[in-house]
Chains A and B, each alone.
Chain A
Amino acid sequence: MKLLLFVDRWLTRITGWLIIFFLSVMIVMAFGQVVLRNFFHTSIEWGDVFLRHLVLWLGFLGAVIATGEGRHLKIEFINKLAPERYRKVIYIATNLFAAIVCFFLMKAAVAFVQMEGESGDTLILNLSTTYFIIIIPVGYAIIAFRFLVRSVAWAAEIIKGDWHIEEQH
């Protein structure tokens, strides 16, 4: 359990760094493209495709954090009305469910990446498409892992008799 939480914490930290780095690149480069296009009638040829894939990466990284903080979009009003004791059980169930779905989405994504890999296509700069889309299966895998860790952590707390739940965002 301690190891799981340790891994989970480091995932959060690394994801945060990557987000800051990628987003900074995105802001500067997207602006650069507009300047190049409008004032110099040129642009970095691979820039737009690269930037759109950067959105995929940022989206998945953001979703990894959202998972850890329980901030995925969901309907909340019933849980708000439920007593604390039930709430923890509900959270375990819904997080487990989400973990299972993400596992299957990861499998689908692996099949997708293999398909693309076998086609041997390159996207930009002679780089295989695989490098750009690998975040989809990896992202779903990490998200599934985090949903699971959260459920297990809560279950462990309940076993110890701790029904208190930190306020969700």
Chain B
Amino acid sequence: MPVIYFVLALAVLVLFGAPLFSIIGTISLLGFSSQGIDTAAIIVEMYRLASQPVLLAIPLFTVSGYFLAESKAPQRIVALAQALIGWMPGGLAIVVLASCAVFTAFTGGSGITIVALGGLVFPILIAEKYSEKFVLGLVTTSGSLGLLFPPSLPIILYGTVAEVSIDQLFRAGIVPGILLVTVLAIYSVRQGIASKIERHPFDAKKLWTAFKNVIWEIPLPFFIIGGIYGGYFTATEAAAVTAFYVFIVEVFVYRDLKLTTDVPRVMKESMVLVGAILMILAMAMGLTSFLIDQQIPQKLFELIRQVVESKIVFLMILNVFLLVIGMMMEIFSAIVVVPLIVPIAKQYGVDPIHLGIIFLANLEIAYLMPPVGMNLFMSSFRFKKTIGQVTAATLPFIIVLLIGLFIITYIPQLSLWLVK
């Protein structure tokens, strides 16, 4: 059975770190050739990307995120959140959750939040006498929080591959996203009260100063969410406005980025990520058309149906599968399973939009999954703790998030509420 050797060989290559796009490319190349189809078909499929308007949103949102990450926006956001909600019990922890969520929505995850924001809030939390274990867990968890909020890149990628409207996905993610932040916030407040953290009085003057400092960045989430939600513009138009606006504000208003040195460097950095993503996305398009051509999702569905009858059990298995995939691959690569799961889930009566939210919520948590979730490594590296320490600290947060995931999975109305 040569197919088995082939699968084994590819599995070894994946595990030893061959670029994922080359693996998917191999499958498509051999798949198409074995059917006697010219491999140019792969490129034809890839070129279909150029006919999707939302393609333009990918580099524009990515570069906006990088501009923000490299500016002093993280400090300003934290200062504002601190003045706004820092007075509550466990308030500072909520500050971290909220700022990280906003920040990750703009930067699309991939560990950048832990480096940029985590390092910033870690010492503040410790100074407030939160236990080190709690702080470590909180910061690690916050690193991927916010992937469900617009304009997060993973949402756009899911929509592109699954051929679902990005605007609708953006709306669908808001309530489940708030839910995940809320469950963590409740847990943090409980911890804050339990460990008798000293509370600061509310200071209107401080709030005003913080607000004035961040005044130019405040409109961003509003005109993205408001603009899309109100139907004023599409996700792609929002990306165009955001990129231009962020550039002007960070370079000419705040002057955090120097036009001649920082800007070219950040531009190149951001396009490296876009390039890596596009390589995967391009190959995923080819693979999708091959899988559908061969009716592989249909065949898989029939196989699974013999064991799994109910939608409830299917969703349970899907969650476990996505958590494992997400833990090993991180979010941009995990997009390759989308063409497989969308048609299968449809057969079980799962709405593709709801599926998208399940998919993203799973990957958000998968970042933290022991033993090899990426945030554990990022955090261990950034805060100089062993993987074991980070894992132990993050475990309670994972459990809280899994409760949230359970609710998101089994109450589709949460995701579909703002869409319909």
Q: Is A76 part of the contact surface with B, judged by Cβ < 8 Å?
A: yes
For the complex formed, measure the closest distance between the CB of B52 and the CB atoms of chain A, giving whole angstroms. 8
Which of these, B16, B25, B240, B332, contacts A105 with CB under 8 Å? B25
A30-B240, A55-B58, A75-B20 in contact; A20/B264 too (CB < 8 A)?
yes
Q: Is B372 part of the contact surface with A, judged by Cβ < 8 Å?
A: yes
For the complex formed, measure the closest distance between the CB of A151 and the CB atoms of chain B, giving whole angstroms. 12
Q: Is A97 part of the contact surface with B, judged by Cβ < 8 Å?
A: yes
Whose C-beta in chain B lies nearest to the C-beta of A31? B244
CA distance A93 to B14 in the complex (A): 12
Q: Hey, which chain B residues are within 8 Å of A41, CB to CB?
A: none
Which of these, A34, A94, A136, contacts B16 with CB under 8 Å? A94
Which of these, A30, A98, A107, contacts B60 with CB under 8 Å? A30
Q: Is A149 part of the contact surface with B, judged by Cβ < 8 Å?
A: no
Q: Hey, which chain B residues are within 8 Å of A51, CB to CB?
A: 56
Q: Is A108 part of the contact surface with B, judged by Cβ < 8 Å?
A: yes
For the complex formed, measure the closest distance between the CB of A82 and the CB atoms of chain B, giving whole angstroms. 8
Q: Is A121 part of the contact surface with B, judged by Cβ < 8 Å?
A: no
Contact A73 B19, beta carbon cutoff 8 Å: yes
CA distance A104 to B283 in the complex (A): 13
Stretch at the interface among B43-51, B69-77, B134-142, B406-414: B43-51
CA distance A109 to B372 in the complex (A): 36
Please count how many residues in chain B sit with their CB below 8 Å of the partner chain's CB atoms.
Answer: 62
For the complex formed, measure the closest distance between the CB of A106 and the CB atoms of chain B, giving whole angstroms. 10
B358-412 residues at the A interface, CB under 8 angstroms: 372, 377
Contact A90 B16, beta carbon cutoff 8 Å: yes
Which of these, B16, B44, B236, contacts A93 with CB under 8 Å? B16
CA distance A49 to B271 in the complex (A): 20
Q: Is B256 part of the contact surface with A, judged by Cβ < 8 Å?
A: no
CA distance A30 to B372 in the complex (A): 39
A77-B372, A101-B29, A112-B40 in contact; A52/B239 too (CB < 8 A)?
no
A23-B59, A58-B59, A73-B332 in contact; A31/B241 too (CB < 8 A)?
yes
Q: Hey, which chain A residues are within 8 Å of B60, CB to CB?
A: 26-27, 30
CA distance A145 to B29 in the complex (A): 19
Which of these, A31, A59, A107, A133, contacts B275 with CB under 8 Å? A59
Contact A55 B50, beta carbon cutoff 8 Å: yes
CA distance A65 to B278 in the complex (A): 13
Q: Could you mark each residue 55-99 of chain A with 1 if its beta carbon is under 8 Å from any beta carbon of chain B, else 0? A: 110111111111001011111111110000000001101100110
6 residue pairs from A and B, CB less than 8 Å apart? A62-B274, A75-B333, A77-B377, A90-B17, A101-B26, A109-B43
Extra contacts besides A66-B276, A77-B377, A102-B22 (19): CB < 8 Å: A19-B267, A23-B59, A23-B271, A30-B56, A30-B240, A30-B243, A30-B244, A49-B50, A55-B58, A59-B277, A60-B278, A61-B275, A65-B271, A66-B275, A72-B21, A75-B15, A97-B22, A105-B43, A136-B46
A residues sitting closer than 8 Å to B (CB atoms) are: 16, 19-20, 23-24, 26-28, 30-31, 33-34, 37-38, 48-49, 51-53, 55-56, 58-66, 69, 71-80, 90-91, 93-94, 97-98, 101-102, 104-105, 107-109, 111-112, 115, 133, 136
Q: Can you list the 3 inter-chain pairs with the closest CB atoms, starting with the nearest? A: A62-B275, A59-B278, A63-B275
B residues sitting closer than 8 Å to A (CB atoms) are: 13-22, 25-26, 29, 38-40, 42-44, 46-47, 49-53, 55-56, 58-60, 63, 233, 236-237, 239-241, 243-244, 247, 264, 267-268, 271-280, 282, 328-330, 332-333, 372, 377
